[in-house]
């Protein structure tokens, strides 16, 4: 049986590429950008330990350096290669080293400045603590945790002293260097008690000349405190200057850092893939699946890229023993338009269709929108969902881009809800806004004005009734009949395509299942018409009805035995005759109960549509009643806003869950007896 390409996955071919070592990086780069080769690889993705080679280590080291630099500049690097990324070469390596060097230098300056500031602040706080102490300055050296030395030191040697005492003391100039540059300057040297001896030792080497503090001087000299405060202010100014320079570096090198990170990410992916390929000293072998219609163009591009230094073999799935033996499944590639593609997630979350079978995604897209619209019918609320779909799309705000996969489904169900809202005359739960337009439209179409085309609420004041409600529930059950039938038809076709004829013609989800289902529905419709139509003939259950039910039941009951007879398999009763009888009865009970429950389950569509209408009616009536009290208009508007928000958020989510449930349990269960492999081509970008 040949199916249209629009109804099933694209025809695939396996392609094998023999690539020279000199060309492998460029070939992988080409394939990653093309995103059309579903690789056939054995084993799991290698971890970093299995990639412990010089090239990969260098790539990871480069990525680590870039990450640290970007973190210091408060930049966010990409998590995957960009569209324009290419493998890094010598130019990229030199650029990275230059940028890292500049950033590291400023980073070190900031670190040294912060450390010096910390020491100055600690010294100042300690000095302030003893500034008013009624004790001689010479005695503070014995009381304080600090060791303070005040004196003169040649300004040209102060920097050397600071370097020598980096870990032990803080050197603070107390006056500027003389214009000649050779005169000594006053300094304050402060160290902890543990650093006291190192400080004194270095000061002696540097020809430090102490300044005598009067013996009767109490506390700490004011000029020393002022010197410390000036030094602290200078450290703050230096940090602020470094911060400004860091911001400028971010603006200057931000784009380059992101581009470099993307390139090295691509290089890491290439190295990871190379480790998983079959290879010799000079040749790599790539194997995978490509849509048949794209194979020739891909091969031509690869030959141009490698200047003919490549060997290519292609195979149809039917030629491969591993496919015929079931050891490998051909990936299913669905080439959908924007609307249908938005609903792929529902299908592939359940499972991928088998290669060559019917693609259920178009049916899912249509039925999902229809069911959602019936249960969530409101013109205004549908407009909100439609607007959310636009905002989460490519042209919406960037902060909503992470919800982009919901854009098309939101717009689609929004339109469906708007259509149902027009039929029921509901606009943000208001039942009066659409009465005028509806009366005009119905007068034009039906020849008589109607306040609303469809009434779900069984209230006389709204033109509804219990009988109309029952008709509506009957309509939702008929949708269930159509969807269940579609699932059975899909299964029969799929099993025929896969040459599994027993499941196609002798199972409960095959031909006898659909025959039993349709004839039971036929009997139910005849019975309903005889009860509802005045003067109609009484319903009679004839021998034809009995045959119409018994024949498919016998096909299901005896199916395994009949198939073994036809196919020549023996014994006919594999587990014995009594076991066969018991299994047959269980299968019949399961079939009947399943068909009934799967059909009746669609009553929930009507139930949720009714609950939505009731909730909207309550919100609208409550807002009307409140509007009569003083300042009631404000409260009425608030109630409408709050009520519609609750309906959109809470009931919208519940309805979506119910629709997904109906798809999974009532539709997919008919034919998703075996899942395939989703087409997942090698690519650098996943988003």
CATH number for the domain including 291? 3.30.70.240
In the 3-class helix/strand/coil scheme, how is 278-312 assigned residue by residue?
EECCCEEEEEEEEEHHHHHHHHHHHHHHHCCCEEE
Residue numbers of the domain that contains 66: 42-111+228-276
Residue 208 within a domain: yes
Condensed to tens digits (0 to 9), the pLDDT of residues 41-64 reads: 865 555 444 455 678 899 999 999
Residue 451 within a domain: no
Domain finish residue from 333, 360, 379: 333
Residue 269: both structure tokens together: 């992916």
Range ranked top by mean pLDDT from 260-269, 622-631, 677-686: 260-269
Q: Is the same domain home to 107 and 233? A: yes
pLDDT band per the 50, 70, 90 thresholds, residue 143 = very low
Q: Is the same domain home to 208 and 70? A: no
Q: Is the same domain home to 99 and 245? A: yes
d(CA 450, CA 570): 68
Q: Is the same domain home to 207 and 236? A: no
Of the candidate ranges 139-148, 184-193, 300-309, 543-552, the one whose mean pLDDT is the lowest: 139-148
Is the pLDDT at 161 greater than 90? The verdict is no
With pLDDT > 70 as the criterion, what percentage of the chain qualifies?
A: 87
Q: Is the same domain home to 137 and 286? A: no
Condensed to tens digits (0 to 9), the pLDDT of residues 105-116 reads: 999 999 988 888
CA–CA–CA angle 80, 81, 83 (5° rounding) = 130
Condensed to tens digits (0 to 9), the pLDDT of residues 301-330 reads: 999 999 999 999 999 999 998 888 888 899
Q: What share of the chain is helix, strand, coil (3-state, %, to 5)?
A: 60, 10, 30
| φ, ψ (nearest 5 deg) of residue 661 | -60, -45
Q: Is the same domain home to 168 and 296? A: no
pLDDT band per the 50, 70, 90 thresholds, residue 243 = very high
CA–CA–CA angle 677, 681, 682 (5° rounding) = 130
Residue 161 within a domain: yes
Interval 14-18 mean pLDDT: 95
Domain finish residue from 175, 191, 219: 219
d(CA 416, CA 201): 87
Q: Is the same domain home to 103 and 232? A: yes
Quick one: 396 exposed, middle or buried, by C-beta within 10 A (0-12, 13-18, 19+)? Answer: middle
**pLDDT value at position 140?**
55
CB atoms within 10 A of CB 23: 18
Residue 616 within a domain: no
Condensed to tens digits (0 to 9), the pLDDT of residues 635-665 reads: 888 888 999 999 999 999 999 999 999 999 9
CB atoms within 10 A of CB 649: 10
**Between 188 and 508, where is the model more confident?**
508
Q: Is the same domain home to 19 and 57? A: no
Sign of the dihedral defined by the CA atoms of residues 378, 379, 385, 388, in that order: negative
Q: Is the same domain home to 105 and 234? A: yes
Sign of the dihedral defined by the CA atoms of residues 301, 303, 306, 312, in that order: positive
Closest-CA residue to 287 (of 34, 42, 558) = 42
- The answer to whether 188 touches 227, Cβ cutoff 8 Å, is yes
Q: Is the same domain home to 30 and 47? A: no
Is the pLDDT at 279 greater than 60? The verdict is yes
With pLDDT > 90 as the criterion, what percentage of the chain qualifies?
A: 47
Condensed to tens digits (0 to 9), the pLDDT of residues 429-438 reads: 888 888 888 8
In the 3-class helix/strand/coil scheme, how is 565-629 assigned residue by residue?
HHHCCCCCCCCCHHHHHHHHHHHHHHHHHHHHHHHHCCHHHHHHHHHHHHHHHHHHHHHHHHCCC
pLDDT band per the 50, 70, 90 thresholds, residue 271 = very high
Q: Is the same domain home to 270 and 283? A: no
pLDDT band per the 50, 70, 90 thresholds, residue 93 = very high
d(CA 114, CA 94): 30
Of the candidate ranges 211-215, 269-273, 564-568, 648-652, the one whose mean pLDDT is the lowest: 211-215
Residue 193 within a domain: yes
Interval 70-88 mean pLDDT: 91
- The answer to whether 347 touches 360, Cβ cutoff 8 Å, is yes
Interval 583-599 mean pLDDT: 91
**pLDDT value at position 190?**
75
Interval 2-15 mean pLDDT: 74
Number of domains in the chain: 3
**pLDDT value at position 470?**
84
Condensed to tens digits (0 to 9), the pLDDT of residues 462-512 reads: 666 677 788 888 899 999 999 999 999 999 999 998 889 999 999 999 999
d(CA 385, CA 371): 15
Which pairing describes strands 677-678 and 331-332: parallel, antiparallel, or unpaired? parallel
CATH number of the domain at 193, please: 3.30.70.2750
In order of 52, 267, 474, 520, 558, the CA distances from 595 in angstroms are 58, 55, 16, 10, 19
Condensed to tens digits (0 to 9), the pLDDT of residues 347-403 reads: 988 988 999 899 999 999 999 999 999 999 999 999 999 999 999 988 878 778 788
| pTM score, whole prediction | 0.76
**Between 72 and 227, where is the model more confident?**
72
**pLDDT value at position 2?**
44
Domain finish residue from 333, 355, 377: 333
**pLDDT value at position 4?**
44
Residue 675 within a domain: no
**pLDDT value at position 674?**
83
Range ranked top by mean pLDDT from 78-87, 176-185, 365-374: 365-374
Interval 523-533 mean pLDDT: 82
Closest-CA residue to 123 (of 237, 228, 230) = 228
Residue 389: both structure tokens together: 């779909």
**pLDDT value at position 224?**
65
Q: Is the same domain home to 149 and 209? A: yes
**pLDDT value at position 636?**
86
Is the pLDDT at 29 greater than 90? The verdict is yes
Residue 176 within a domain: yes
Q: What is the mean pLDDT of the chain?
A: 85
- List, as own/partner pairs, every contact residues 517-522 make where C-beta atoms lie below 8 angstroms and the sequence separation is at least 24, other chains included: 517/481, 517/484, 517/485, 517/488, 517/595, 518/485, 519/545, 519/548, 519/549, 519/552, 520/549, 520/595, 521/481, 522/548
Q: Which residue carries 């163009």 as its tokens? A: 297
- The answer to whether 508 touches 583, Cβ cutoff 8 Å, is no
Residue 62 within a domain: yes
- The answer to whether 73 touches 249, Cβ cutoff 8 Å, is yes
């Amino acid at each position: 049986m040949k199916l249209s390409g629009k109804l099933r996955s694209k025809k695939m071919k396996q392609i094998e590429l023999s690539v020279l070592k000199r060309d492998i990086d460029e070939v992988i780069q080409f394939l990653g950008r093309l995103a059309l080769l579903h690789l056939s690889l054995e084993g799991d993705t290698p971890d970093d330990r299995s990639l412990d080679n010089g090239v990969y280590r260098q790539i990871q080291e480069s990525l680590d350096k870039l990450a640290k630099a970007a973190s210091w500049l408060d930049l966010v690097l990409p998590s995957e290669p960009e569209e324009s990324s290419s493998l890094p070469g010598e130019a990229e390596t030199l650029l990275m080293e230059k940028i890292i060097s500049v950033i590291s230098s400023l980073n070190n300056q900031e670190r040294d400045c912060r450390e010096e500031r910390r020491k100055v602040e600690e010294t100042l706080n300690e000095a302030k603590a003893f500034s008013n102490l009624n004790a001689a300055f010479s005695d503070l050296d014995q009381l304080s945790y600090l060791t303070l030395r005040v004196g003169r030191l040649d300004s040209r040697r102060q920097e050397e002293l600071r370097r020598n005492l980096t870990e032990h003391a803080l050197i603070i100039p107390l006056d500027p260097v003389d214009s000649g540059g050779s005169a000594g300057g006053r300094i304050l040297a402060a160290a902890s008690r543990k650093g006291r001896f190192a400080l004194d030792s270095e000061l002696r080497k540097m020809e430090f000349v102490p300044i005598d503090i009067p013996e009767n001087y109490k506390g700490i000299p004011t000029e020393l405190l002022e010197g410390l405060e000036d030094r602290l202010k200078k450290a703050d100014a230096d940090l602020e200057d470094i911060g400004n320079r860091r911001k400028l570096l971010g603006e200057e090198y931000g784009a380059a850092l992101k581009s470099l990170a993307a390139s090295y990410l691509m290089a890491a992916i290439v190295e990871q893939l190379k480790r998983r390929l079959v290879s010799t000293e000079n040749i790599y072998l790539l194997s995978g699946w490509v849509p048949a219609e794209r194979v020739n163009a891909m091969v031509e591009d690869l030959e141009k890229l490698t200047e003919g230094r490549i060997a290519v073999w292609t195979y149809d799935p039917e030629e491969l023993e591993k496919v015929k033996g079931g050891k490998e499944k051909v990936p299913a590639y669905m080439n959908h338009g924007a609307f249908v593609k938005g609903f792929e997630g529902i299908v592939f979350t359940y499972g991928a269709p088998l290669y060559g079978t019917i693609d259920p995604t178009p049916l899912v897209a249509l039925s999902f929108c229809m069911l959602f619209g019936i249960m969530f019918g409101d013109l205004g609320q549908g407009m909100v969902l439609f607007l959310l779909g636009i905002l989460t799309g490519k042209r919406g705000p960037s902060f909503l881009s992470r919800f982009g996969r919901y854009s098309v489904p939101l717009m689609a169900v929004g339109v469906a809800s708007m259509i149902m809202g027009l039929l029921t005359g509901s606009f943000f739960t208001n039942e009066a806004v659409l009465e005028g337009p509806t009366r005009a439209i119905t007068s034009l179409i039906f020849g008589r004005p109607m306040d609303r085309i469809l009434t779900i609420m069984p209230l006389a004041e709204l033109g509804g009734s219990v009988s109309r409600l029952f008709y509506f529930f009957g309509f939702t059950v008929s949708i269930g009949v159509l969807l269940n039938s579609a699932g059975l038809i899909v299964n029969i076709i799929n099993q025929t395509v896969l040459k599994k004829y027993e499941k196609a013609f002798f199972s409960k989800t095959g031909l006898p299942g659909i025959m039993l289902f349709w004839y039971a529905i036929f009997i139910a419709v005849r019975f309903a018409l005889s009860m509802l139509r005045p003067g109609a003939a009484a319903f009679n259950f004839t021998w034809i009805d009995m045959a119409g039910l018994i024949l498919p039941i016998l096909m299901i009951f005896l199916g395994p035995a009949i198939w073994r007879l036809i196919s020549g398999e023996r014994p006919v009763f594999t587990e014995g005759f009594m076991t066969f009888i018991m299994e047959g009865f269980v299968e019949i009970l399961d079939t009947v109960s399943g068909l009934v429950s799967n059909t009746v389950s669609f009553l929930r569509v009507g139930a949720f549509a009714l609950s939505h209408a009731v909730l909207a009616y309550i919100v609208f009536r409550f807002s009307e009643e409140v509007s009569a009290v003083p300042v009631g208009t404000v409260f009425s508007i608030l109630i409408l806003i709050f009520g519609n928000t609750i309906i959109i958020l809470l009931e919208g989510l519940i309805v979506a869950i119910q629709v997904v449930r109906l798809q999974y349990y009532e539709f997919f269960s008919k034919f998703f007896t075996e899942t395939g492999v989703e087409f997942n081509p090698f690519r650098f970008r996943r988003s």
